[in-house]
Amino acid sequence: MRKRQAGITFIGWVVLLIPMAIVLYMAIRLIPIYLNHVKVANAVEQAAQEARTETSVNPGAVRTSISRRFNVEGIETPSVDQIRVARDGSEWVIEVNYEQVAPLFADINLLVTFDRRVVIQ
């Protein structure tokens, strides 16, 4: 009696590869957004570090420092207007809250929300 060969069929390959391709495409769309967020977080942290060395915190100077760093790094999103420098109790806080949308297919988008808070002591 002959044994049938067992293996994955063409339809099996299609069922396996399509979800993998979709996940790969999503990663390709999201990686630049997260890399941009790393640059934003570093710029805000460096501005906070610079503000810690000064005797008094000036919100305008902190915003200017962040704006300069955004220009050097080529960061367009978020804008400096979306950054809040305010007093929270006895300490100063830099808050960056923004969303980025990555188009996926037709009218399906991926929404990524970032909320970063850095305390200036």
Which residue matches tokens 């950054």? 83
Angle ∠(56,62,65) on CA atoms, nearest 5: 130
Helix 10-52 and helix 59-73, axial crossing angle in degrees, nearest 10? 140
Name the E strands within the chain.
Answer: 83-88, 91-105, 108-120
| Tens-binned pLDDT, residue by residue, of the chain (121 aa) | 678 878 888 999 999 999 999 999 999 999 999 999 999 999 999 999 999 888 888 889 999 999 999 999 999 989 988 999 999 888 999 999 999 999 999 999 999 999 999 998 7
Q: Is 48 helix (H, G, I), strand (E, B) or coil?
A: helix
Angle ∠(83,111,75) on CA atoms, nearest 5: 40
Closest CA to 86 of 109, 111, 52, 120: 120
Q: Are 120 and 52 in contact (CB under 8 A)?
A: yes
| Token duo for residue 1 | 């009696």
